[in-house]
Amino acid sequence: MSLGPENTVILTGAGVSAESGLGTFRDAGGLWAKFDPMKLATPEAFAEAPERVLEFYNARRANLVDAKANAAHFALAELEQAWMMAGRGNFGLVTQNIDDLHEQAGSASLLHMHGELLKTRCTACGHLFTDKDPIEHSAPCPKCGETHRLRPHVVWFGEMPIGLDHIYKALEQVDLFIAIGTSGTVYPAAGFVQEARRAGAWTVELSLEPGEVSAVFDETVYGPATEVVPEWVAKKLG
Ligand code: APR
């Protein structure tokens, strides 16, 4: 019997999309085992070799077009629905992922703190638009017409994540914090569990294996997200 609101913040990482066929970064065979992030995922790399960076993101964008949400994504959308229907408190899903699988599964209160691969941004006028096609470096911005100014709307290393003010505000009043499929190696996301603990929240880690900050979680369940997340949600919604 819950005594009062159970404000909930969920943080997801690449592990939640792994079984949808999208690569993780630091597992065996992960993206950063094959590619050097410093040559592909920094503003300096883009300034130095825009075509190389665009080729990398265009390939990941093409790979994303056929990806489908999996049981973990759907279970999180179900949890959000139940929270909203029962008025059980605030619910926020913060994802480090740049795919659209949480949207496909129906998650609504969603924040992509590392941006979105299916969005292109003009660095001249700031125009942001959904774009499933490859970004051509010389293409003109559909809004301002400037050429050579389009980039993926993805947060690169050294850039500020999106929505941190909202995230920290939510973590101040959080009662339940769940980290799913993230290695806990990249800050500020890896520090969110500490903020949640400061707020007195119950903290849960659902992942394939322990990450860097697993020791501080109150509850940990390890296994594939498509099994562990639906099971955890079903138990919670008992
Ligand atoms: N089910 C659940 N968890 C899984 C699965 C799976 N099928 N497969 C892998 N994992 C877990 C791994 O155990 C690991 O803890 O997912 C995590 C993936 O970790 P990373 O590859 O480091 O991905 P992530 O934590 O999302 O990286 C954070 O780093 O490079 C940046 O911007 C990038 O958003 C990314 C950030």
Per the structure, the count of domains in the chain is 2
The answer to whether the CB of 27 is under 6 A from ligand 1 is: yes
In this structure, are 61 and 175 located in the same domain?
no
27 is a domain residue: no
In this structure, are 226 and 237 located in the same domain?
yes
This prediction has a pTM of 0.97
CATH number for the domain spanning 146: value is: 3.30.1600.10
> Can you read off the two tokens belonging to residue 209?
């294996």
48 is a domain residue: yes
- Annotation says 166 is catalytic: no
The answer to whether the CB of 182 is under 6 A from ligand 1 is: yes
In this structure, are 77 and 47 located in the same domain?
no
In this structure, are 10 and 36 located in the same domain?
no
Task: Give yes or no for residue 130 having a pLDDT over 80.
Answer: yes
Q: Which of 73, 112, 114, 153 is catalytic?
A: 114
Residue range of the domain that includes 141: 32-66+118-154
CATH number for the domain spanning 6: value is: 3.40.50.1220
Ligand 1 atom with least separation from CA of 211: 15
In this structure, are 110 and 180 located in the same domain?
yes
> Can you read off the two tokens belonging to residue 108?
């609504």
With the C-alpha atoms ordered 133, 41, 166, 9, is the resulting torsion angle positive or negative?
A: positive
Q: How many helices (H) and strands (E) does the chain have?
A: 9, 9
> What pLDDT digit, counting tens, does each position of 45-82 carry?
999 999 999 999 999 999 998 999 999 999 999 999 99
> Can you read off the two tokens belonging to residue 123?
């660095």
- Average pLDDT, integer, range 198-214: 97
Contact 141, 125 (CB under 8 A): yes
The answer to whether the CB of 70 is under 6 A from ligand 1 is: no
Q: What is the mean pLDDT of the chain?
A: 96
Report long-range pairs for 122-125 (Cβ below 8 Å, ≥24 apart). Answer: 122/146, 122/149, 122/150, 123/149, 123/150, 123/151, 124/149
Q: What torsion, rounded to 10 degrees, do the Cα atoms 67, 70, 74, 75 define?
A: -150
